[in-house]
Amino acid sequence: MTEKTQTDQVALVTGAAQGLGKAIAKSLFNAGFAVVVTDANEGGAQETALEIDASQERVLALKLDVLLKSDFSEALETAVVRFGKVDALVNNAAMTPTTPVMEITPEEFDKVVSVNMRGTFFGCQVFGQYFADKGYGRIVNLASLAGQNGGTASGAHYASSKGAILTMTKIFARQLAESGVTVNAVAPGPIDLPSVRALVPPERLEQIINEMIPVKALGNAEFVADMVTKLASPEASFVTGAAWDVNGGIFMR
């Protein structure tokens, strides 16, 4: 059997139009992957794809609404037509509201849980079956420190959904391990991203940095993206069902 290398791999990333998803897509591309940039915002996905690879030879932009299982199936089919296969899935798409716990409405709760938890579940289900059928695959789920400690500045629905993703990662890891498919999670703490600075008031963010983060700094998105890329690589065959913590020492175990 021919040994796999990153230069012949294809990865699909959800929620890749901006923020951490965009950083992950760039990292995968720079490591040699062909990358399928997906997002509910099709225009944003196209802009990111052009930014990553102006030639569009190793990148494809697609609209993918993680609320729709059919969108995962259609994106997979389109990617296979374009690149011949898909080898890795990064479930990154998420909503990150900071609504106080007693003010969360039923509608907001359902939307956040559906995007974050159900979206990750159907991604694992659709791509997990495809990977299992071909005997190889990598799935990386974006969890969060919030799912481990209840959150530092995030909403209760967000934290709960990310805790569920940690459990879901273990479930799919067990289900797919014998088929040559690994499933892992990365659980970042507060990352220095425009979205984080937009969600958390400056004074609250400074308080978090100075009083709650032992290393007294926000995390680096590129480092998290490189970690995801490593877990998506063929070399990551002996790592599955794990949660990789990147939180500045807020949560230690």
Structure tokens at 6: 């990153």
Cα dist. 232→5, 118, 143 in Å? 11, 21, 15
Cα dist. 114→1, 10, 29, 87, 117 in Å? 40, 27, 29, 25, 6
| Cβ count near 80 (within 10 Å) | 14
Residue with tokens 């890329």: 229
CA distance 29 to 37: 10
Sheet holding 10-13, edge to edge: 59-63, 34-39, 10-13, 88-91, 137-142, 181-188, 243-246
Catalytic residues: 158
Q: How many helices, marked H, and strands, marked E, lie in the chain?
A: 10, 7
Q: Please check whether residue 12 is in contact with residue 236, taking contact to mean a CB–CB distance below 8 angstroms.
A: no
CA distance 117 to 147: 11
Residue type, 202: P
